[in-house]
Chain A
Amino acid sequence: MTDARDSEDAVRPGLLSSPDSAPAAPNQAAEAAPGRSASSLGAAFSRSGAVLVAYVMAGYPDRAGSLAALDAVASGGAGVIELGVPYGDAVADGPVIVEAGKAALANGFGLAETIALAGEFIGTHADAPPVALMTYLNPMMRLGFPRVAALAAEAGVSGFIVPDLPPDSPMTDRWLAESEPLGIDTVFLAAPTSTPERLAALGARSRGFLYVVSSLGVTGERDELAAGLAGLVERVREHTTLPVVVGFGVGTPEQAAEVAKIADGVVVGSAIVRRQGEPVVLGAFVRELVAGVRGA
């Protein structure tokens, strides 16, 4: 049945309305976005030392609260902001992010609102670090890939992290065909279970950086860093020259410092989201995290 999909556009309801253009060529030069030009995610890693990738849930505890949190993590020295899109079936996320996402959904937040929030933040912070949206695939499909890419480029969003988007599916080809020409990076995630073949595919498809999931399981703070993390990062580096960013299970400045010794970036999510209601506390925490990461 390999030819079944040749005719799929005929049977596919008009969800993915983009013409079925060929996948974008790797390393295609970014053209200027129609609105603000997005800064590249990769640029965040140009200076020496590791960077903090700070995860903030959009719309939590409310719109103003998440804007304040974005401000706090930016002024605290985060090198990249990962802005979480609330979603009703966050299968890769642990309880803190799931609960925050539910609250944000109840506040009427989805992908479109998150992009608008990012646009407002970026537009009012000339020196803001690059912003990548962390979203599940279905909200992107619902809004339509062309529209998502155009809105994100207009807002100045630099990239997308999509945990349920594999490197090698027809959907991936369609998304990259829309997003890459607008200079939007798509970051793929590698896992401890990834085979060498998959690491090569993930490294080849990823733009900006490669996100390494430190341990099996969902996002959330853990008492101990995963055993074998250094070996995992080493294996990943054999397959990519991209900056390597480690996330899942990093929640304290000490853990962040530890990870920064082997990685180019460290993602902290749940520990930040838990403090999103208190911008002052959050700002101090982010400065501690950044000190840990830079001290490495």
Chain B
Amino acid sequence: MSDVLLPSADDAYASPDAQGFFGPYGGTFVPETVMPVLAELEAAYREAQADPAFAGELRTLLTDYVGRPSPLYRADRLAEATGLGAVYLKREDLNHTGAHKINNTLGQCLLAKRMGKHRVIAETGAGQHGVATATTAALMGLECAVFMGTEDIRRQSLNVYKMRLLGAEVVPVAEGTGTLADAVTAALRHWVERVEDTFYVIGSVVGPHPYPAIVRDFQAVIGTETIAQMAEKSIPRVDAVVACVGGGSNAAGMFYPFLRDVPAEKRPLLVGAEAAGLGLESGKHGAALTKGSPGVLHGFYSYLLQDEAGNPLEAYSISAGLDYPGVGPEHSFFKDEGLVRYEAVTDREAVDAFALCTRTEGIIPAIESSHALALLPRLAAELGPDAVVIVNVSGRGDKDMDIVREAGLGVD
């Protein structure tokens, strides 16, 4: 497997420019109070990138604490059920804490310590990033507060309890729809107030520069491992790689190494699955790339669900991790450049894929990851019965039992 853990700052491909832009997207649109802190963060990250001791410490944690590398598992019954030649599941659900989020929180909390900050905050939607941050804070002895919308607290009560068990304070956010976007805003507001002693651990490839690049780099271990595992398993050809996209961190972590390290002519089709919610025409979805237009929210310029006056719209998805009105700026760049294709998947399709994966493989995926799995039948129709597809199973579905039960899978 590749010994590159963190991409180097001078990678030729798609690093943001000096002002944090991926093409026209990204940048730093935040109140002045936090601008100097973002500059400090960038400097600290560049130093850490160049420091073998930092990569070494992170590598050890990823191996011994998270359990990496996560397997690339050949799911034959799922392939047969979806009419594909082969399906491989990248098992981020097997990570400690049950999702890809821990890859990023370990990196950022190590950075926080390096910067001398003893208190971290985070926003969370499904609760996975909150749990991962609370876990990492417990491991490293950091004080931790997690901002979470009241609706998400209702939908994900188990994760709320876990965070409290781990010693984190869960701060309820009742504003707006009480979901992820409101939690991000509340966390940003809080950070402006406590910027001197507090590190904001952003959970996805969103926010002002340098966060989208930092989070992508910490998640790039997913794609780097996948490429190495394809060689180890002598998988001759992969036709498509699929990941779900809310903010887009598991997808960025999977796609970025393919874009950076695999020549275009050998590169599989890269497909991101956004949340179509109740349908793209229903107005109740989270498909920023498919249905949005460029704008600024939460400090960066990217595709965004917004009204005519430029106010962010409420996103909706059955999945708390995907109902975000924006999307990471690098995904907007990938979309415009045609490097990644983005499709939207409804709640119903995601629930069906959840059930199928569970019944054919005995793997209960997160409802977020189920959006990616839902693309398998479409890809079979497009690419034919011999096609080989990798799906990033970004997390496990234990947290989603209540939601799936409400959706009615006919087992009760």
Contacts and interface: CB of A to CB of B under 8 A. Distances in A.
A193 B196 contact: yes
B42 to A, nearest CB: 14
A89 B32 contact: no
22 contacts: A2-B17, A4-B21, A4-B23, A88-B311, A91-B31, A91-B185, A138-B296, A141-B296, A142-B295, A142-B309, A164-B31, A168-B19, A169-B28, A170-B19, A171-B27, A191-B32, A191-B33, A193-B32, A193-B33, A195-B39, A198-B35, A216-B194
Contacts of B295: 15, 138, 141-142
A190 interface: yes
Nearest to A193: B36
A218 B193 contact: yes
A138 B32 contact: no
A202 interface: yes
Given A4-B22, A11-B24, A198-B32, 7 more contacts: A1-B14, A1-B17, A89-B185, A92-B192, A139-B309, A165-B29, A202-B32
Contacts of B309: 110-112, 139, 142-143
Interface of B: 14-19, 21-24, 27-37, 39, 175, 181, 185, 188-189, 192-196, 293-299, 301, 304, 306, 308-312, 336-337
A54 interface: no
Contacts of A202: 32
A105 interface: yes
B32 A171 contact: no
B311 A13 contact: no
B198 to A, nearest CB: 10
Contacts of A105: 311
B188 to A, nearest CB: 5
A89 B295 CA distance: 13
A42 to B, nearest CB: 21
B33 A192 contact: yes
B119 to A, nearest CB: 14
A202 B15 CA distance: 27
Contacts of B32: 163, 166, 188-191, 193-194, 198, 202, 213
A242 interface: no
A164 B300 CA distance: 10
Interface in A198-221: 198, 202, 213, 216-218
A194 B39 CA distance: 11
B189 A218 contact: yes
Given A138-B306, A191-B31, A216-B33, A12 B311 contact: no
A144 to B, nearest CB: 10
A191 to B, nearest CB: 4
Q: Is the interface of A mostly helix, strand, loop or mixed?
A: loop
A223 interface: no
Given A2-B17, A89-B312, A171 B33 contact: no
A216 B195 contact: yes
B29 A137 contact: yes
Contacts of A224: none
Given A1-B17, A12-B24, A216-B194, A193 B37 contact: yes
Contacts of A170: 19, 21, 27
B33 A164 contact: no
Contacts of B30: 91, 164, 166
A87 interface: yes
Contacts of B297: 89, 138
Contact of A171 (B14, B29, B36, B195): B29
A5 interface: yes
Contact-residue size bin, chain A (C-beta under 8 Å from the other chain) = 35 or more
Contacts of B17: 1-2, 4-5
* Chain A to chain B: the 8 pairs with minimum beta-carbon distance, closest first: A142-B310, A110-B309, A88-B311, A217-B193, A139-B310, A191-B33, A8-B24, A138-B310
A190 B309 CA distance: 27
Interface of A: 1-2, 4-5, 8, 11-13, 15, 87-89, 91-92, 98, 105, 110-112, 136-143, 163-166, 168-171, 188-195, 198, 202, 213, 216-218
Contacts of B22: 1, 4
A27 B19 CA distance: 25
A12 B309 CA distance: 19
Contact of A216 (B23, B24, B192, B301): B192
A173 to B, nearest CB: 11
Most-contacted residue by chain A among B188, B297, B311 (CB, 10 A): B311
A164 to B, nearest CB: 5
Contact of B27 (A88, A92, A169): A169
Contacts of A143: 309-310
B200 to A, nearest CB: 13
Contact of B299 (A13, A164, A194): A164
Contacts of B185: 89, 91
A191 B196 CA distance: 12
A22 to B, nearest CB: 17
B15 A1 contact: yes
A168 B39 CA distance: 13
A235 to B, nearest CB: 13
Q: Which of A91, A139, A169 has the most CB of B within 10 A?
A: A91
Contacts of A191: 31-33, 35-36
Contacts of B23: 4-5, 8, 11
A2 B175 CA distance: 39
A15 B306 CA distance: 13
B303 to A, nearest CB: 9
Nearest to A167: B32
Given A1-B14, A87-B311, A193-B37, A13 B301 contact: no
Nearest to B303: A13
Nearest to A7: B23
Contact of B29 (A12, A164, A190, A217): A164
A142 B196 contact: no
A15 B19 contact: no
Which of B24, B28, B185, B304 has most chain A Cβ within 10 Å?
A: B24
B342 to A, nearest CB: 15
A137 B306 CA distance: 13
